[in-house]
Amino acid sequence: MTQASGESKRAALIYNPTKVDEKKLRATVVDEAAKAGWQEPLFFETQVDDLGDGVTREALEQHVDVVLVAGGDGTVRAVSEAMSGSGVPLSIIPSGTGNLLARNLKLPLSSPMLMVRAAFTGDVSAIDVGWAELVRADGQKDKHAFVVMGGMGLDAAMIANTNAQLKKSVGWVAYVDGAARSLPSAKPFRVSYQLPGARLHSSKVQSVLFANCGQLPAGLDLIPEASVTDGALDVVVFQPKGALGWLLVWRRVAWDNSVLQRFRAGRQVLALRTKNSAVRYSRGSGIDVGADRAHPVQLDGDEFGEASRVSVSIDAGSLLLSVPRGHKI
């Protein structure tokens, strides 16, 4: 559907002041609101102790008609968590170096103006939101949303070991530093996992990923078939054995999925290739993962401490997004 304008309507902008040109962005939002005949927008800055979920709830309490978010992947995740199920559209203004959800949705990355304008005059589409309940070693539970992907194990350890200042300077490339710090000491760990209606699996793994989207930075396709509108969760289990196993993982993600899968001839080659167990894919409405002890967990590229169990589910179509007119998700 297409959003309508009206003098009684009001927008709210949630932004991370370290990621945007604050003066320019606020002026653009004010200008576009005026053009659409809307009221003066509301503005909220994220804080160290409020990544965006708190101020988003404040905005929703003031009955805004659309929320715009400008910040990194962590800000988008936090705002989406507060927006899920609200019935209020969210417009994602690409900011910083990550923009993983915007990239997966193929939203315009080089023109923030288009996404600001979409908040007032664009179409509205619904996407799925993932929810992860984390059970800590002491039994404490907490629940958080994700819109791209989360994971337990090595992927989370890499994020936890990434230098914060380096990440701020060079973005996702800094995860190479985290990988260099994590891989030498990486050891497989025992997990039991089960998708609804499927049998219980037990194996030694390096990581268990649960995804709403399939694309990683640099255009790498971890899960080519993943969709944010299918009401399903995509699960990837990494269980490489030795150096050869890691080479098979890299070939699957960087070559098979990201190159061969895009062409008919390449897909024919993949159909003839012998399967390997270094990477296992599953799909379902959720997953329960229990580990032999507490391990690091990440959601949308932010560390969330350690958990011994993770229960993940998908809330189908619970987040409304404002997109440019005619843009298909």
Chain segment 188-202, per-residue pLDDT in tens? 899 999 999 999 999
Q: Give bridge partners of residue 217 from the DSSP assignment.
A: none
How many CB atoms sit inside 10 A of residue 151's CB?
Answer: 27
d(CA 163, CA 24): 30
Most confidently modeled range among 5-9, 58-62, 300-304:
58-62
pLDDT in tens, 240-299: 776 665 566 656 665 455 544 565 654 554 455 556 677 899 999 999 999 989 999 999
CB 248 within 8 A of CB 279: yes
Higher pLDDT, 106 or 4: 106
Percent of the chain with pLDDT over 70: 76
Task: Find the length of the chain.
Answer: 329
* Residue 21, amino acid: D
Strands 11-15 and 201-205: unpaired
Q: Indicate the Cα dihedral angle 14, 20, 22, 24, nearest 10°.
A: -110
pLDDT-derived band at 155, boundaries 50, 70, 90: confident
Cβ-Cβ contacts under 8 Å for 190 (sequence gap 6 or more): 202, 203, 204, 291, 292
What contacts 216, CB < 8 A, 6 or more positions away? Answer: 100, 222, 253
Query: Which residue is listed with tokens 């990550």?
Result: 98
Q: Write the CA distances from 9 to 33, 112, 115, 119, 241, integer angstroms.
A: 9, 21, 18, 12, 57
**Is the model's pLDDT at 301 over the cut of 70?**
yes
Helix, strand, or coil (residue 113): helix
Q: What one-letter code names the amino acid at 116?
A: V
Q: Which two tokens stand for residue 37?
A: 């005949």
Exposed / middle / buried, residue 246 (Cβ in 10 Å: 0-12, 13-18, 19+): middle
Q: How confident is the model at residue 186 (pLDDT cuts 50, 70, 90)?
A: low
For the segment 179-195, the average pLDDT, to the nearest whole number, is 73
pTM above 0.95, yes or no: no
Query: So what's the pLDDT on residue 278?
Result: 78
Residues 6+ apart with CB under 8 A from 77: 51, 145, 146, 147, 148, 299, 300, 302
Kindly state the percentage of the chain with pLDDT values over 90. Answer: 63
- Contact of 32 with 116, CB cutoff 8 Å: yes
Closest CA to 325 of 81, 99, 115: 115
